[in-house]
Amino acid sequence: MVVTSETPWSEKYRPQTLDEVAFHKDIIDTIKKLLNENQLPHLLLYGPPGTGKTSTILALARQMYGPGAANMVLELNASDDRGIGIVRNEIQDFAGTRSIFNNKFKLIILDECDAMTRDAQMALRRVMEKYVRNARFCLICNFVSKIIPALQSRCTRFRFQPLPPSFVTERLTSICALEKVPTTPEGLEALVQLGEGDMRRVLNLLQSVVMSAGEVSEVSAYTCAGRPLPADIESAMHWLLNEPLTAAMEKLTDLQRSKGVALVDILQALHPFVFRIGMPPEVRIELVRSLASVEHRLAFGTSEKLQLGAVVGAFAAAKAGIVASAS
């Protein structure tokens, strides 16, 4: 199958109206009610990526302004324009003027505003107060803790939680049918697992899998994502728990070379298995702490070979702890 469309599917299938935002019904219903009563406050939408925050506010803008949305909406990515200068110039200039042909307030959307500097956030607080008659602000972020309390208190907050697997599966099935993509149940389940509740990530991965393999299967999904197959993780866990230290090290090294997977991906996939194995709580605590330390060190660019040895050593220590507890 050849995909000829140049439009990313994450944009092609983005909801265009509030009614099309199928999940987060409570949030959508509340926003609709505020909009109908013409009492829309400043908004703060936060939560993990790909859960519908930007789609919701863009659909709201289309519903409010219709074809004239371009003149009434200022959309900025605050991770690019995050200094105090953008607040004092572009944002203040836009908020300080009213449209001659439209008596509605303007809408200013600041995406990824948790990347804004503290000084920029302090300046934004004053602009929100001063031009409340002219404009409404919508702040979008992943980590609400990085937004200063003064901004949080001026907004109505809505948390967008990760999308549940059932919803993602239903949406994926619908899109695959529209695009005539051959799929298997295992392939769809793999996409849902790899997406981790992020719909944008799932759709981007789906499109990549279709373009590279032509069909969605478990192997094609994990291969395209560069993540180890569940069968490989089961083998890795078996080696770590049953093989001698040197043999486990060699087999894991061969797995990395043959499958081209990173140690951090193996670590993240091993984590759920650790909680399925019967072991004393104190042994499990120490094992999880050791694996977390390895992942932390990998994030700073340390040697993968050295950290692989640390992983094997952590499981060897856990095996010794299990034997000691049983005797």
Per-residue pLDDT of 205-237, as tens digits, reads 999 999 988 889 999 999 888 888 999 999 999
- In contact, 157 and 42? CB cutoff 8 Å: no
Q: What is the CATH number of the domain that holds 188?
A: 1.10.8.60
The per-residue pLDDT of the chain, averaged, comes to 87
Q: What is the CATH number of the domain that holds 316?
A: 1.20.272.10
The type of residue at 91 is I
Predicted TM-score (pTM) above 0.85: no
pLDDT confidence bin for 101, thresholds 50/70/90: low
Between these two residues, 88 and 262, which has the higher pLDDT value? 262
Half-sphere exposure (CA, 13 Å, Cβ side) for 205? 30
Asked if residue 17 belongs to a domain, the reply is no
Kindly state whether residues 99 and 29 are assigned to the same domain: yes
pLDDT for 81? 62
Q: What is the CATH number of the domain that holds 54?
A: 3.40.50.300
Number of domains present in the structure of the chain = 3
Kindly state whether residues 31 and 102 are assigned to the same domain: yes
Between these two residues, 60 and 77, which has the higher pLDDT value? 60
What's the domain range around 188?
A: 166-225
pLDDT for 2? 42
Kindly state whether residues 61 and 137 are assigned to the same domain: yes
Give dist(CA 86, CA 82) in Å, integer: 7
The type of residue at 18 is L
How does DSSP classify residue 175?
A: H
Asked if residue 7 belongs to a domain, the reply is no
Report, as an integer, the average pLDDT of 190-203.
91
Kindly state whether residues 83 and 154 are assigned to the same domain: yes
Give dist(CA 190, CA 168) in Å, integer: 12
Give dist(CA 57, CA 60) in Å, integer: 5
Asked if residue 19 belongs to a domain, the reply is no
Kindly state whether residues 112 and 196 are assigned to the same domain: no
Kindly state whether residues 44 and 133 are assigned to the same domain: yes
Tokens of 191: 């996409």
Asked if residue 310 belongs to a domain, the reply is yes
Kindly state whether residues 151 and 39 are assigned to the same domain: yes
Asked if residue 90 belongs to a domain, the reply is yes
Give dist(CA 288, CA 275) in Å, integer: 9
